[in-house]
Amino acid sequence: APEEPHTWCLQVLPFVADLLLTQEFKLLLFDTFTSGPKAPTVCDKYVFYFAAHGLGFWTDRSAVHEAAAQGRVKQLQQLIEEGAAVNTVAVDSITPLHEACIQGQTQCVRLLLNAGAQVDARNIDGSTPLCDACAAGSIECVRLLLEHGATVNPPLFTFSPLHEACMGGSSECVRLMIDQGAFMEAHDCHYGTPLHVACARQHYDCTKVLLSAGANVNAAKLHETALHHAAKVNNAELVELLVEFGGNVYARDNLNKKPIHYTRPGSPCYLVLEFYENTPLSLQQISRVTVRKTLGTRACDVVTKLGLPNRIIRFLSHMPPPVIEL
């Protein structure tokens, strides 16, 4: 037998899925791994949690979890009427409300919330049901959670619902979260701002919604901007959008690299960045960037009240000029 208990636990994990384990043995296995004088680090515990996820720990979910995840509304209603606990948690701290939001089960979300489910419950990685609904792109679930007081802005330096919406690529959820007051400069210590996430995942529509709402195009994560991310994924369309909103093509990250340094010479992305490095923005473009930067998140509302000609308003709002029929 291995000398360390947690080493033994790791060795038996591949066989756990094939065993019909009792709840007591599973918890003993978990406690053995995560405790003791030579217990693993927090990071190791996360690995174990995720390994356990796929190796049988899903069986610890209650009937309420299963009904919520699979959208079995009548069964869920019956369980609630019989007194089943709606806030019961599995090993990973996932509640039935998390499950329903992950799967976009709107009716189940409504039932759980009306039955007293904790709207801001956090699972092992800190995600709330609102985070999960945004990640799934379920706009109806998001609206329900907000109606029940879900927190839009979590503590600093953590992944927010807006980050999740950008990760999942739902521009509709991104727009709704911004309308609800989500901090566009919320900074996750690993991923940066929501704009960093949208560009890294190549979600053009989400990126445009953020920029149009006044997100800081040159916000930095370890001196790395969204433009660096767009260059890394070789997305010329994203690069052009970011530059149009004032993205700095000369910005250098902590490795002293500009966005162009992350592109392959001759590629479309390289050629776009090379063009902008060698071609100054027009006075018209500079003026637009300056006006929008000055107005910040108020730009969309204020521009329409400046008494300017419609054509200029559309230009400042990054809207295409009106089509003139001949």
Inter-residue contact 164 to 127 (CB < 8 Å): yes
Which H or E run contains 298?
none
Which H or E run contains 239?
helix 236-244
Residue 155 in tokens: 């503590």
Residue 11: predicted pLDDT: 47
Mean pLDDT of the chain: 83
pLDDT in tens, 99-117: 999 999 999 999 999 999 9
CA distances, 167 to each of 8, 159, 161 (Å):
37, 10, 10
Going by C-alpha positions, the residue among 92, 84, 80, 157 that lies closest to residue 121 is: 92
Four-CA torsion 136, 141, 145, 146, nearest 10 degrees: 90
pLDDT in tens, 212-261: 999 999 999 888 999 999 999 999 999 999 999 999 999 999 999 999 99
